[in-house]
Amino acid sequence: MAKRVLLIEDEPNIIEAISFILSRDGWTVHAHENGETAMAKVNAFPPDLIILDVMLPGRSGFDILRDLRAQAATAATPVMMLTARGQAKDRELAKRLGANHFMIKPFSNADVRDHVRALMEA
């Protein structure tokens, strides 16, 4: 069965792009647009990998990451963070909170695909 990727992102165009890239590579992609309800979504149907945007309506991606790492069920789920802000301190914060990878927008499609592959295999 295809592995499930949960994409937490609020820009419809970016959702469409990443879904296209990853589906082409064989993943099942689910998208969720709201930061506030993201945790509920994760817990209702735990994914194999999470792609998490930083600036989300309702709640920041960093807060969600902290929650993910705090609960046993998702403590080890690979998380790849996306941000359009691209500041050094964001990258450090993401690392410290336990993100597996940190990616700055705009990204190259190949990069996304390769890193998802790498995280799933690890």
Partner 1 sequence: MVSFNILVAVALLYVALLFGVAFYAERRAARGFGGWLYSPIVYTLSLSIYCTAWTFYGAVGYAARSGLEFVTIYLGPTLVVVGWWWVLRRLVRIGRTQRITSIADLISSRFGKSTQLGVIVTILAVVAATPYIALQLQSVTLSFAVFAEAGGAFWGEDELNGAAIAVAIGLATFTVLFGTRNLDANERHHGIVMAIAVEAVVKLLALLAVGIFVVWGVAGGPTQILQQIDASPIAHWDQNGARWISLIFVSGAAFICLPRMFQVLVVENVDERHLNIAGWAFPAYLMLMSLFVVPIAVVGLAILPAGANPDLFVLTVPLSEGQSGLAMFSFLGGFSSATSMVIVSTIALATMVSNHIVVPIWLNARAGAGAKMSGDVRSVILLSRRFSIAGVLALGYLYYRVSGGGTALAAIGLVSFSGAIQVLPSLIGGIFWRGATRVGAALGLITGFSVWSWTLFLPSIGTGAIISDAVMLYGPFGHSWLRPEALFGIAGIDPLVHGIMWSMILNAFLFFIGSVFSFPTPLERLQGAQFVNVFDYSAGSSNWRASAADAEDLLIMSQRIMGGTEAQGFFQREAAAQGKAGYLPDVTIEFVSLLERELAGSVGAATAHAMVGQLTEGSGVSVEDLIAVADEAAQILEYSNQLEAKSAEQERTARALRDANEKLTALSVQKDAFLSQISHELRTPMTSIRSFSEILRDGEMTADAQWRYAGIIHDETLRLTRLLDDLLDLSVLANGQVTLQDQSGDLRSLITRAVDVAGGEDSKLRVLRDPSAEAIVLRTDLDRLGQVFINLIANARKYCDAVTPTLSIKVRRVSGDYVIDFVDNGSGVQIKNQQVIFEKFSRVSDQSKAGGAGLGLAICREIMHRLGGEISYLPGQGGAAFRVVLPRAAILANR
**Span interacting with partner 1, options 8-16, 36-44, 72-80, 91-99, rule CB under 8 A:** 8-16
Q: Binding to partner 1 by residue 11, rule CB under 8 A?
A: yes
Site string for partner 1, 52-91 (x = CB under 8 A): ---x-x--------------------------xxxx----
Burial of 35 (0-12, 13-18, 19+ CB in 10 A): buried
Closest Cα to residue 64, out of 34, 82, 38, 43?
A: 38
Closest Cα to residue 37, out of 21, 55, 58, 54?
A: 58
**Span interacting with partner 1, options 43-51, 62-70, 72-80, 101-109, rule CB under 8 A:** 101-109
Closest Cα to residue 5, out of 69, 26, 40, 94?
A: 26
Q: Binding to partner 1 by residue 109, rule CB under 8 A?
A: yes
Site string for partner 1, 20-59 (x = CB under 8 A): xx-----------x---------------------x-x--
Q: How far is the CB of 58 from partner 1 (least distance, A)?
A: 9
Where b means 16+ CB within 10 Å and e means fewer, 81-105 reads bbbeeeeeebbebbeebebbbbbee
By CB under 8 A, name the binding residues for partner 1. Answer: 10-14, 16-18, 20-21, 33, 55, 57, 84-87, 104-110
